[in-house]
Structure 1
Amino acid sequence: MEKLFSLFSTSAGSAGGSSSAPAATVSDIFVYPIKSCRGISVPEAPITSTGFRWDRQWMVVNSNGRAFTQRVEPKLALVEPELPPGAFDFNWKSSDSSYMVLRAPDMDPLKVCLNRECNVVDGISVWEWSGTAFDEGDEASEWFTKYLGKPSRLVRFNTPSESRFVDPDYAQGYTAMFSDGYPYLVISQGSLDFLNELLKEPLPINRFRPNILVDGCAPFSEDLWKVTKLNNIAFHGVKLCARCKVPTINQESGTGGTEPTETLMKFRTDKALKRGKINKAKVYFGMNFVCAESLSAATLKEKVVKIGDPIHVLQSYASPADAAA
């Protein structure tokens, strides 16, 4: 418990304002092409109007068009996508020979053409959103149906016709594709290290599925980052990330457990963070961000986040209790 008290005084003291020295640096970047499937670690990623290029552009749906996630299909954690070399270069364009290759235990690889014409299907839904999407065809459907053991289809976000807005109570005008709610999730290495010191068995960062991992700051500093400049790109921290059961799923085996939720319940709840509105079921780990430049095609041009990019904090929340959640 003494360690937790020390943590809160340290993180509150690091709220800070803008400074010539960076608050942290980007240490890893992750993109998840298919919702709830394995992520790809990349040295750099271009920013689009909906998040990093390729992030949650696809998802697997059931016979009713509803999204499958690891919450009910933990085997999705073992599906590993591979994109073509150069796919994260800013000026890269797909061709008829460009494929996303999917691999999973006891399955032959599946090649999904990135340049094919797809049928548009109605009634696709994820959380509160419903609309149309591109159907990746029967071969992909048969692959996922066999793998999951139930009728499944692979769909791609219908970018030309659809928009999926984030919750306007937290960030107005911003859009995402098939992510749970926001374009970017930021977590610090310090937060993970602090948590791992409390756990009997340390966990890798893939349990928490961030887009941006940062290093060089105190544990849970990211809770306080209201307005930042990441390599001169404006990112706004808009909502603490309330965690579901996915962090309890081993991303290497697809099996579930009770940690880290059991430990996070001791110090990352509304009550522990002294938040006014108490939801006893919620624990928080990481901060959801939006990118200000994504609102305008003109300012978005050739914006890329790279490993090693500095992060400067321009505005801070006074404490986690002041951040939205």
Structure 2
Amino acid sequence: MSNPSDLAAVVSRLYVYPVKSCAAVSVPEAVLTETGLEFDRAWMVVDGAGNFLTQRELPRMALIRPQLKHFEMVLRAPGMLALHIALDQVEAPTRVRVWDDEVDAYDMGAIAAQWFSDFLGSPARLVRFDPEHKRVSSLQWTQGVEAFNQFSDGFPLLVISEASLDHLNARLLAQGAAAVGMERFRPNIVLGPAAGSELAPHDEDRLELLQIATAQGAVQLRPVKPCPRCPIPNIDPATGLSSPEVGDLLQSYRQDARVNGALTFGMNAIVLQGLEHLLKVGQRVSANYRFDQAGPHRIHFYPCF
């Protein structure tokens, strides 16, 4: 008989975002690296001063769709010819800013810059993260563990459960709004229920340690920080248009005291074990719920409506 404090799940989806704030690539498998899934946020779009650009300012970035091939990344967008970016080539070294971090990167050249500038309607350049640069997650949240990132907002991985999205969509439908897809929340790892088990909405909030069984051995991930949500989940990834339904609904039930009342959805996670292991859709995931003096967090976080 399973312990009631154990979670039994599977990896139901894996997403990589090769270019920060552009569309997701749904993949059947991905190599786990110290900065998260391979190629995740390896590239970023910056303005003329080297400051990062996202859907927050330019919702049309949602319409830029990468495709990863053996030797290149192919970018497509409405009205544009495809842009081919070699995976093993960069141009001039540069320095760019993502949030408060100034990091080493490589400019991807004039052709890429013109392509992004034309589509976005303002000066833009494509850069690639310099793998020699060590960009560290907040040690306050990682409990002193050094976790590294490329151009992600601040942590290597984002984990969300299918149950959390189902719960949100039930609320949206109840108020006459349309259901939304997982892509709006930009997770890397999506958890679904294992056979014979079920997940509660936002179980990912309450997990101490995730263990994923791979052919190379166990991967260990630690959820460390609730993910505060900006306006990006309001943007329809199919159209690049924004409407307030998602953010307004989250305001009604996802204000999170752990991050000073910000709206959260999903958990940022760090890698403790399993570098270079191959994560695959369908792999088994186990975890324990965190306990405190009031009992398992599963009982008192975010009751269902």
Taking the aligned partners of 1:138 and 1:285, their CA distance within structure 2 comes to 38
1:177 paired residue among 147, 150, 154: 150
| Residue number in structure 2 paired with 1:224 | 206
TM-score by length of 2: 0.87
| Residue number in structure 2 paired with 1:32 | 17
Taking the aligned partners of 1:219 and 1:15, their CA distance within structure 2 comes to 19
Amino acid at match of 2:253: F
Report if aligned partners of 2:66, 2:76 keep a CA contact under 8 Å in 1. yes
| Residue number in structure 2 paired with 1:312 | 286
Q: Residue 291 and residue 15 in structure 1: after superposition, are their counterparts in 2 closer, same or farther (change >3 A)?
A: farther
Report if aligned partners of 1:249, 1:257 keep a CA contact under 8 Å in 2. yes
Query: Could you give the per-residue CA deviations for residues 151-191 of structure 1, whole angstroms, max 9, x where no partner exists?
Result: 1100000112x111011101131001001111111111111
Q: How many residues align?
A: 281
Taking the aligned partners of 1:288 and 1:168, their CA distance within structure 2 comes to 13
Taking the aligned partners of 1:134 and 1:103, their CA distance within structure 2 comes to 21
| Residue number in structure 2 paired with 1:116 | 89
Question: Superposition pairs for residues 73-92 of structure 1, below 5 Å?
Answer: 73-85=58-70
Question: Superposition pairs for residues 199-210 of structure 1, below 5 Å?
Answer: 199=172, 200-210=177-187
Query: Could you give the per-residue CA deviations for residues 197-240 of structure 1, whole angstroms, max 9, x where no partner exists?
Result: 11021001111011011111121111101212111211101011
Question: Superposition pairs for residues 142-181 of structure 1, below 5 Å?
Answer: 142-160=114-132, 162-171=133-142, 172-181=145-154
TM-score by length of 1: 0.82
Question: Superposition pairs for residues 124-273 of structure 1, below 5 Å?
Answer: 124-160=96-132, 162-171=133-142, 172-199=145-172, 200-216=177-193, 217-231=199-213, 232-270=218-256
After superposition, the CA RMSD in angstroms is 2.0
Taking the aligned partners of 1:16 and 1:189, their CA distance within structure 2 comes to 20
1:288 paired residue among 268, 274, 291: 268
Report if aligned partners of 2:36, 2:156 keep a CA contact under 8 Å in 1. yes
Query: Could you give the per-residue CA deviations for residues 34-70 of structure 1, whole angstroms, max 9, x where no partner exists?
Result: 0000111111110011000000000000001000000
Query: 1:278, CA displacement in angstroms?
Result: 4.2
What is the aligned-residue identity percentage?
37
Higher strand share: 2
Query: 1:106, CA displacement in angstroms?
Result: 0.6
The unaligned stretches of length 5 or more in structure 2 are 194-198
Q: Residue 15 and residue 141 in structure 1: after superposition, are their counterparts in 2 closer, same or farther (change >3 A)?
A: farther
Amino acid at match of 2:14: I
| Residue number in structure 1 paired with 2:26 | 41
SS of corresponding position for 1:228: strand
Taking the aligned partners of 2:184 and 2:258, their CA distance within structure 1 comes to 28
Report if aligned partners of 1:15, 1:224 keep a CA contact under 8 Å in 2. no
The unaligned stretches of length 5 or more in structure 1 are 1-13, 86-97, 294-298
Q: Residue 258 and residue 121 in structure 1: after superposition, are their counterparts in 2 closer, same or farther (change >3 A)?
A: same
Amino acid at match of 2:247: T
Query: 1:114, CA displacement in angstroms?
Result: 1.6
Query: 1:17, CA displacement in angstroms?
Result: 3.4
Taking the aligned partners of 1:322 and 1:119, their CA distance within structure 2 comes to 49
Q: Residue 221 and residue 119 in structure 1: after superposition, are their counterparts in 2 closer, same or farther (change >3 A)?
A: same
Taking the aligned partners of 2:147 and 2:290, their CA distance within structure 1 comes to 21
SS of corresponding position for 1:266: helix
Query: Could you give the per-residue CA deviations for residues 76-125 of structure 1, whole angstroms, max 9, x where no partner exists?
Result: 0000111114xxxxxxxxxxxx2211100111111111222421012x00
Taking the aligned partners of 1:152 and 1:206, their CA distance within structure 2 comes to 24
Taking the aligned partners of 1:117 and 1:177, their CA distance within structure 2 comes to 16
Query: Could you give the per-residue CA deviations for residues 104-150 of structure 1, whole angstroms, max 9, x where no partner exists?
Result: 0111111111222421012x000011022111000000000111111
